[in-house]
């Protein structure tokens, strides 16, 4: 078995596309939607006809100077910045002040986060299939409104049940609709050959949130109070979330374009063979759940996300409880976020041109090693060693989003990727949700984080091995379509 053979060979012969149906490109900038789109599946996971040789492509009047997919990468950056800040990176800045003022334990504070993961998981069952059929834009508008309203309402919280409902239900549901599933499913449809790089660039928004928001939020909470800080966060969602939603579009074919910005001449000469194969050999939801790869990937990325959620949510309380100042703890989280941002397009490039599985395994190994360094540094108050550990884990974490999304789309194809991801994501998120609450409960019980944090490192080590056995699935012979057919 060769671990570097990640993509099936495809024919480079010219590949026909579906009939031209309308001219819609000139309306794209005005927000018009296509008048005719590829027919969606009658049932996401139900009995379906074999995939068509290619998508129906609308007629375009001219080739845009800048492929519109890159504008959506920018929109994805804004959405990622907004939701990553609201979901995780700012949580540590609020944990101690809110818990102290309202009389909560660390675990009780995280009830909202944990309940939120369940609601995001529930929403995930519907988001992906909706994006396949109608596009991400309507959901993202609703998500931005929900998230902004919930963050503002949190500033008036006095009881634990209020916090759990606002944080755990409304803000997390808003983040789910505005955030990475809707964005990354859409980008997976607009990019094939450059998918890893596109998602990597968009997901830099997650890291920028980690660089800026922990320090800013910690300072603002200390200066003006946690209630005022939640209100400012709500305003930020309005300013960034709605513009991001307005830019999103469903598929390039709806507007007379092709993935990766390929021209008609490039497609006619066989330059788009890989994109056509990606579409033609896509798995439906029902086909995907019959593959072993789906379940291996769920567990693999669930364990990876478990570590990611824990280090993001609990870094500040972990370090302050270990004797470091709040300022130092916030800086460490920013040290994590800087290499996480820089490395995202690097990991995406590695996925595009090298090996998706080996790249993912390497990123998990880096995280596992870094956690050992961080725990030992926290025990000995070794600030420089601590910074090195956070830098390494940041570089490894940087690969999680682009590598995960690239693997899902390349394994199961782009045509129904939203429906397939909507099956997998809820279970991945439920695994991830257990990390922060288990670690916080361990601290409340034993008064330290050491064994729990070593356990997080062990989870990453297991994930690094599991990804190596996740073989690319093949469509049943009756459903598979040759890209040159």
Q: What is the DSSP letter of 168?
A: I
Torsion angle, CA of 175/411/34/20, rounded to 10 degrees? Answer: 170
Q: Collapsing DSSP states into helix, strand and coil, what is residue 205?
A: helix
- Global pTM reads 0.71
Residue 52 to residue 38: CA distance in whole angstroms? 10
Is residue 184's pLDDT more than 50?
yes
Query: Closest Cα to residue 147, out of 180, 169, 121, 119?
Result: 169
Classify residue 480: in a domain, yes or no.
no
Among 72-86, 219-233, 360-374, 436-450, the least confident range: 436-450
Q: Give me the residue label for tokens 């890159």.
A: 70
Count of the separate structural domains present in the chain: 1
Query: Closest Cα to residue 482, out of 194, 192, 20, 51?
Result: 51
DSSP codes of every residue in 50-95: PPPSS----B-SS--SS-HHHHHHHHHHHHHHHHHIIIIITHHHHH
Classify residue 475: in a domain, yes or no.
no
Residue 181 pLDDT grade (very low, low, confident, very high; cuts 50, 70, 90) = confident
Residue 89 to residue 91: CA distance in whole angstroms? 6
For 386-438, the three-class secondary structure string (H helix, E strand, C coil) is HHHHHHHHHHHHCCHHHHHHHHHHHHHCCCCHHHHHHHHHHHHHHHHHHHHHH
Torsion angle, CA of 7/306/363/325, rounded to 10 degrees? Answer: 160
Q: Give the per-residue pLDDT at 478.
A: 56
Residue 105 to residue 96: CA distance in whole angstroms? 9
Q: What is the DSSP letter of 257?
A: -
Q: Give the per-residue pLDDT at 477.
A: 65
Residue 424 to residue 405: CA distance in whole angstroms? 12
Residue 151 to residue 234: CA distance in whole angstroms? 5
Q: Cβ neighbours of residue 433 under 8 Å, at least 6 residues apart?
A: 113, 114, 116, 117, 118, 121, 309
Per-residue b or e along 87-101, where b marks 16 or more CB atoms closer than 10 Å to that residue's CB: bbbbbbbbbbbbbee
The 10s digit of each residue's pLDDT in 22-61 is: 333 334 443 444 434 444 444 333 433 344 446 766 655 4
Among 143-152, 296-305, 322-331, 424-433, the least confident range: 424-433
Residue 253 to residue 91: CA distance in whole angstroms? 40
Average pLDDT, integer, range 323-347: 89
Classify residue 292: in a domain, yes or no.
yes
Query: Closest Cα to residue 336, out of 403, 402, 392?
Result: 392
Q: Give me the residue label for tokens 């961080």.
A: 374
Q: What is the DSSP letter of 207?
A: H
φ, ψ of residue 475 to 5 degrees: the values are: -65, 150
Average pLDDT, integer, range 313-323: 88
Q: Which residue has the higher pLDDT, 48 or 300?
A: 300
Average pLDDT, integer, range 222-226: 94
Q: Collapsing DSSP states into helix, strand and coil, what is residue 202?
A: helix
Instruction: Provide the percentage of residues in the chain whose pLDDT is more than 90.
Output: 46
Is residue 19's pLDDT more than 50?
no
Q: Give the per-residue pLDDT at 430.
A: 82
Residue 154 pLDDT grade (very low, low, confident, very high; cuts 50, 70, 90) = very high
Classify residue 133: in a domain, yes or no.
yes
Classify residue 222: in a domain, yes or no.
yes
What mean pLDDT is reported for the chain? 83
Residue 76 pLDDT grade (very low, low, confident, very high; cuts 50, 70, 90) = very high
Classify residue 162: in a domain, yes or no.
yes
Give me the domain span that covers residue 433.
68-253+264-274+284-469
Is residue 235's pLDDT more than 60?
yes
Residue 405 CA, chain-centre distance (Å), reads 7
Q: How far is CA 474 from CA 178, 217, 288, 471, in A?
A: 32, 47, 10, 9
Q: Collapsing DSSP states into helix, strand and coil, what is residue 269?
A: coil
Instruction: Residue 454: give its domain's CATH number.
Output: 1.20.1250.20
Average pLDDT, integer, range 6-12: 42
Classify residue 91: in a domain, yes or no.
yes
Is residue 484's pLDDT more than 60?
no
Report the sign of the C-alpha dihedral through residues 29, 34, 38, 44, in that order: positive
Q: Which residue has the higher pLDDT, 400 or 11?
A: 400
Among 111-125, 378-392, 458-472, the least confident range: 111-125
The 10s digit of each residue's pLDDT in 427-477 is: 888 888 788 888 988 988 888 888 999 999 999 999 999 999 998 898 876
Q: Give the per-residue pLDDT at 36.
A: 40
φ, ψ of residue 59 to 5 degrees: the values are: -75, 135
Classify residue 361: in a domain, yes or no.
yes
Q: Collapsing DSSP states into helix, strand and coil, what is residue 250?
A: coil
């Amino acid at each position: 078995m060769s671990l570097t053979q990640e993509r099936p060979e495809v024919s480079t012969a010219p590949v026909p596309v579906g009939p031209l149906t309308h001219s819609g490109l000139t309306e794209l900038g005005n927000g018009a939607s296509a008048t005719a789109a590829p027919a969606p599946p009658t049932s996401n996971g139900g009995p379906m006809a074999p995939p068509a040789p290619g998508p129906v492509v609308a007629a375009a009047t001219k080739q845009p100077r800048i492929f519109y997919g890159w504008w959506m990468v920018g929109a994805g950056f804004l959405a990622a910045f907004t939701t990553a800040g609201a979901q995780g990176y700012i949580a540590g800045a609020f944990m101690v002040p809110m818990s102290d003022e309202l009389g909560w334990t660390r675990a009780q504070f995280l009830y909202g986060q944990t309940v939120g993961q369940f609601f995001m998981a529930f929403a995930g069952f519907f988001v992906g299939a909706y994006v396949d059929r109608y596009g991400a834009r309507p959901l993202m508008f609703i998500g931005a409104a929900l998230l902004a309203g919930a963050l503002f309402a949190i500033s008036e919280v006095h009881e634990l049940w209020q916090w759990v409902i606002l944080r755990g239900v409304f803000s997390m549901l808003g983040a789910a609709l505005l955030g990475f599933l809707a964005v990354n499913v859409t980008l997976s449809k607009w990019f094939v050959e450059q998918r890893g790089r596109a998602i990597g660039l968009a997901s830099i928004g997650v890291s920028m949130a980690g660089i800026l928001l922990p320090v800013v939020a910690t300072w603002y909470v200390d200066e003006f109070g946690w209630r005022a800080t939640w209100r400012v966060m709500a305003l930020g969602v309005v300013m960034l979330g709605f513009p991001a939603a307005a830019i999103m579009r469903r598929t390039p074919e709806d507007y007379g374009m092709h993935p990766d910005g390929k021209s008609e001449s490039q497609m006619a000469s066989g330059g788009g063979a890989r994109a056509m194969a990606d579409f033609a050999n896509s798995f439906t939801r029902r086909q995907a759940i019959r593959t072993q790869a789906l379940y291996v990937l769920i567990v693999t990325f669930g364990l990876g996300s478990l570590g990611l959620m824990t280090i993001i949510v609990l870094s500040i309380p972990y370090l302050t409880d270990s004797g470091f100042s709040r300022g130092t703890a916030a800086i460490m989280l920013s040290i994590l976020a800087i290499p996480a941002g820089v490395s995202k397009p690097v990991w995406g490039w590695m996925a595009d041109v090298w090996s998706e599985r080996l790249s993912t395994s390497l990123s998990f190994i880096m995280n596992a090693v870094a956690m050992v360094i961080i725990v030992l540094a926290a025990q000995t108050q070794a600030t420089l060693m601590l910074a090195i550990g956070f830098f390494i884990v940041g570089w490894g974490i940087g690969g999680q989003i682009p590598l995960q999304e690239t693997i899902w789309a390349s394994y199961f194809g782009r045509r129904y990727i939203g429906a397939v991801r909507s099956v997998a994501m809820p279970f991945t998120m439920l695994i991830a949700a257990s990390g922060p609450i288990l670690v916080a409960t361990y601290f409340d019980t034993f008064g330290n984080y050491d064994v729990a944090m070593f356990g997080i490192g062990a989870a990453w080590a297991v994930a690094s091995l599991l990804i190596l056995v996740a073989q690319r699935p093949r469509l049943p012979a009756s459903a598979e379509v040759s890209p040159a057919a």
